[in-house]
């Protein structure tokens, strides 16, 4: 089944003609309504008349996360606040989050693209969807929620946490689909087994999992332990939220990018040049239909490959491979995006800490853990144990309050952490996905 048969199976030339028409419209809009784009295009000496074919868009400058930060919070919105019905946010690289806005039409498009994603996963209105993505500023919860309702399925708005209760509901309400991060799916499996629940005989048959990188091995493990089919969903707040691309149940070989709404390119992160299909590069997205927050050539920092060969499901949409990593240092800890620079800003705001720290990321019982080791100044280190413990608590609390992640903090002796001559290597990621 295909939700939007006409648009998901367009012949390539027709799709590209539609993309070009929409691209011209969005470029006109941003050039005339968002000062940032007018300046960016003028500085790059590109006039809108220069864009005569889809390929000409390569002449347009990239938009980066820093541009969003510099225009915080609403500076890149292309619609007046009176037309904006929803705000979401994700992590910025330092103190301030990245804010995104939606008009009613944007929410509508998003819901339809999520419904498309569910249909690609084989869901119908007869399904019961257990939604364990977080509700709130994170786009996962509400994105999935509106999409499941649009499809007509029954949605259980669980949000994250309360694992025991989640397991009870999985048993009693009999959801047929689960939406959460892959690591949480595995954690649910483990916890359920520990509680003596036969997690393989639940009614669940499909998982729509994403928001963090995961491997084929992890997919196999989730499928085995929950006895489901685990499909990959991709998205990012800046571009919309979940539902930018979705793996179909037939092909299971990459995620279809919803190209009637987004143009995807893959570039060499060092040179910015477009790389040939099939080669690994950084994904760059342009939104074609968003009203409130259109983005032109947005660099995601997510590394993947684009595949244009036809898929057995009949969709003509380009596929992107599983995300293989990032071209920056963003970490995803239990689905929460964290930049080391954000942690650094919190640490530097606390007196007595030295700017030398190490972040150790690991996985315990299928859940991510983050330990921060930070040097303290000589006079603090000679303080009583109690004083040191108080500082550790304060760091943990500040990080939880500002960034939303739980950490274990260990203060270490002055000059005990490794020093670097070149680029500092502050993150030790021990997770095997």
Instruction: Determine the interface stretch with ligand DLL among 47-55, 113-121, 204-212, 387-395 (rule: CB under 6 A).
Output: 204-212
Whole-number minimum distance, CB 125 to ligand DLL, in Å?
A: 21
- How many residues of this chain interact with ligand DLL, rule: CB under 6 A? 23
- Per rule CB under 6 A, is residue 236 in the interface with ligand DLL? yes
282-to-71, 207, 273, 414 alpha-carbon distances in Å: 23, 26, 10, 39
- Per rule CB under 6 A, is residue 90 in the interface with ligand DLL? yes
Place of tokens 């999520």: 114
Per CB under 6 A, the list member of 26, 151, 323, 333 interacting with ligand DLL is: 323
Q: Which helix (H) or strand (E) holds 431?
A: none
The full length of the chain comes to 433
Per CB under 6 A, the list member of 92, 160, 175, 210 interacting with ligand DLL is: 210
- Per rule CB under 6 A, is residue 235 in the interface with ligand DLL? yes
Whole-number minimum distance, CB 278 to ligand DLL, in Å?
A: 19
Nearest to 331 by CA among 371, 297, 284: 371
Instruction: Determine the interface stretch with ligand DLL among 221-229, 233-241, 345-353, 386-394 (rule: CB under 6 A).
Output: 233-241
- Cβ–Cβ < 8 Å for 415, 381: no
Per CB under 6 A, the list member of 7, 110, 133, 258 interacting with ligand DLL is: 133
- Per rule CB under 6 A, is residue 20 in the interface with ligand DLL? no
Whole-number minimum distance, CB 430 to ligand DLL, in Å?
A: 19
Per CB under 6 A, the list member of 46, 202, 211, 228 interacting with ligand DLL is: 211
| Count of Cβ atoms closer than 10 Å to residue 22 Cβ | 18
Per CB under 6 A, the list member of 109, 286, 300, 342 interacting with ligand DLL is: 300
Q: Which helix (H) or strand (E) holds 191?
A: helix 182-194
- Closer to ligand DLL by Cβ: residue 27 or 399: 399
Q: How far apart are CA 357 and CA 347, in angstroms?
A: 9
- Closer to ligand DLL by Cβ: residue 322 or 373: 322
Q: Tell the burial category of 169 from Cβ atoms under 10 Å away from its Cβ (0-12, 13-18, 19+).
A: middle
Per CB under 6 A, the list member of 111, 237, 266, 286 interacting with ligand DLL is: 237
Q: How far apart are CA 379 and CA 99, in angstroms?
A: 41
- Per rule CB under 6 A, is residue 241 in the interface with ligand DLL? yes
- Closer to ligand DLL by Cβ: residue 181 or 316: 181
Residues ≥6 apart with Cβ < 8 Å to 195: 164, 167
Paired tokens of 189: 């499996």
Residues ≥6 apart with Cβ < 8 Å to 212: 181, 182, 183, 332, 335
Q: Which residues bind ligand DLL (CB under 6 A)?
A: 90, 133, 138-140, 210-213, 232-237, 241-242, 300, 302, 323, 326, 332, 337
């Amino acid at each position: 089944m295909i939700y939007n048969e006409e648009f998901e199976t367009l012949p390539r030339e027709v799709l590209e003609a539609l993309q070009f028409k929409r691209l011209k419209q969005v470029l006109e809009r941003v050039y005339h309504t968002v000062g940032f784009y007018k300046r960016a295009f003028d500085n790059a000496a590109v006039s809108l008349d220069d864009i005569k074919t889809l390929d000409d868009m390569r002449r347009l400058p990239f938009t980066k996360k820093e541009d969003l930060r510099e225009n915080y919070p609403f500076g890149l919105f292309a619609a007046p606040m009176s037309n904006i019905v929803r705000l979401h946010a994700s992590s910025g690289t330092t103190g301030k989050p990245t804010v995104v806005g939606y008009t009613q039409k944007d929410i509508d498009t998003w819901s339809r693209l999520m419904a498309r994603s569910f249909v690609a996963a084989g869901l119908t209105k007869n399904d019961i969807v257990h939604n364990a993505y977080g509700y709130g500023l994170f786009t996962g919860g509400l994105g999935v929620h509106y999409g499941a309702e649009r499809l007509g399925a029954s949605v259980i708005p669980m949000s994250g946490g309360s694992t025991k209760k989640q397991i009870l509901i999985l048993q009693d309400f009999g959801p047929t689909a689960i939406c959460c991060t892959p690591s949480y799916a595995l954690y649910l499996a483990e916890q359920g087994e520990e509680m003596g629940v036969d997690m393989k005989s639940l009614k669940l048959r499909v998982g729509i999992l994403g928001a963090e990188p995961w491997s084929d091995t992890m997919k196999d493990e989730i499928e085995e332990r929950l006895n489901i089919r685990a499909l990959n969903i991709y998205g990012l707040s800046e571009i919309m939220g979940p539902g930018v691309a979705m793996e179909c149940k037939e092909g299971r070989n990459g995620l279809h990018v919803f190209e009637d709404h987004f143009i995807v390119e893959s570039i060499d992160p060092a040179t910015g040049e477009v790389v040939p299909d099939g080669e690994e590069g950084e994904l760059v997205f342009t939104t074609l239909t968003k009203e409130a927050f259109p983005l032109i050539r947005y660099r995601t920092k997510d590394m993947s490959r684009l595949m244009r060969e036809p898929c057995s499901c009949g969709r003509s949409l380009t596929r992107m491979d599983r995300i293989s990593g990032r071209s920056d240092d963003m970490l995803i800890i239990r689905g929460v995006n964290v930049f080391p620079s954000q942690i650094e800003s919190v640490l530097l705001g606390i007196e007595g800490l030295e700017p030398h720290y190490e972040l150790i990321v690991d996985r315990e019982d299928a859940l991510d853990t983050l330990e921060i080791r930070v040097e303290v100044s000589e006079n603090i280190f000679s303080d009583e144990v109690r004083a040191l413990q108080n500082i550790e608590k304060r760091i943990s609390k500040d990080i939880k309050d500002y960034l939303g992640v739980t950490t274990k903090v260990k203060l270490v002796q002055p000059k005990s952490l490794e020093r670097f001559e070149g680029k500092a290597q502050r993150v030790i990621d021990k997770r095997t996905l």
